[in-house]
Amino acid sequence: MTATLVLLLLTFPAERVAGLPTGVVLDNGNWQITIQHRFFNSVTDPGWKTDPLQALAFANSHIGVDRGIGGNVAVGGALNVSDRLLALHAAWRPLKKLTVYPELVAGLFEPGLDRLWFNVAAGVPVTIADRLHVFPFIRATGSKSGYLGSFGHTFKYAFGDYRLGLEFDDAILVSDSSGTGFRAGLDSLPWTLSFEREAGWHNFVFTIGTAGHSLPPHSLRRDVLDITRGRFRLGFNILRKL
């Protein structure tokens, strides 16, 4: 079982955070622009001392745009510059307590059917005492080369002008060229601890964690630092609301 664990301080509601859905659909006509940047090198990597400019340049960058339509639907897209991935996604709330997220992820480098992934997630958002927001969801990710089944949660707690959140996405079933089965291990557990402060229409976030990628299937399987060896990476997010 591979897992994605992201601990964030965010302004909520927000339709997407770090590539995972929150269960909240943007209001009609509202926009959200997300810029995510993660440095690939671990903070303990000697490259920060020997060649700091190269360490700064070696990063994973992600840009996303979402817009609310009609109150129960939001559509958007994302470009992962480093992975050369393009994603088109939507959020649909057919019922008050159900949100569905279809997403198509295409590889821009040597495109083909084996570089085309379709994801669909569905979950039930719950708000407790107007402060705690919980969104458990299941997700299926598939392509010509294999499939993944995952189960995740998103938690966000509001206090004052700050938001504390926790989200994870466990790949409980994996089928690819290496076989089919369940996989687990702390060495493959991506997590991120972040601090965010809202300033006007912008949210600025500083992140510390092990996660390397923002779009599935890469977010579930690739470049996860081993927390059991004390390795983690730095990054930041910028959210702009329109």
Structure confidence at residue 186 (pLDDT): 59
Q: Give residue limits of the domains in the chain.
A: 2-241
pTM of the model: 0.81
Q: How many residues does the chain have?
A: 242
CATH of domain 2-241: 2.40.160.40
Over its length of 242 residues, how does the chain's per-residue pLDDT go in tens digits?
433 344 433 334 455 555 677 788 888 998 989 888 888 888 888 888 888 887 787 888 889 899 999 889 999 999 988 888 999 999 999 998 899 999 999 988 877 787 899 989 999 999 888 888 888 999 888 888 788 888 888 888 877 778 877 777 777 777 766 555 555 555 666 677 778 777 778 888 888 877 777 777 777 666 777 777 778 888 888 888 87
Structure confidence at residue 188 (pLDDT): 65
Q: How far apart are CA 79 and CA 19, in angstroms?
A: 11
Q: How far apart are CA 222 and CA 237, in angstroms?
A: 20
Q: How far apart are CA 111 and CA 67, in angstroms?
A: 27
The answer to whether the beta carbons of residues 32 and 184 sit under 8 Å apart is: no
Structure confidence at residue 221 (pLDDT): 63
Q: What is the DSSP string of the chain?
A: -EEEEEEE---SS-SEETTEE-SPPPPTT-EEEEEEEEE-S-TT-THHHH-HHHHHHSEEEEEEEEEEETTTEEEEEEEETTTTEEEEEEEEEEETTEEEEEEEEEESSS--GGGEEEEEEEE--EEETTTEEEEEEEEEEEETTEEEEEEEEEEEEEETTEEEEEEEEEEEEEEETTEEE----GGG---EEEEEEEETTEEEEEEEES---SSTTHHHHSS---GGGT--EEEEEEEEE-
Q: How far apart are CA 118 and CA 90, in angstroms?
A: 12
Other CB atoms closer than 10 Å to residue 161's CB: what's the count? 10
Structure confidence at residue 130 (pLDDT): 84
Structure confidence at residue 123 (pLDDT): 94
Structure confidence at residue 179 (pLDDT): 56
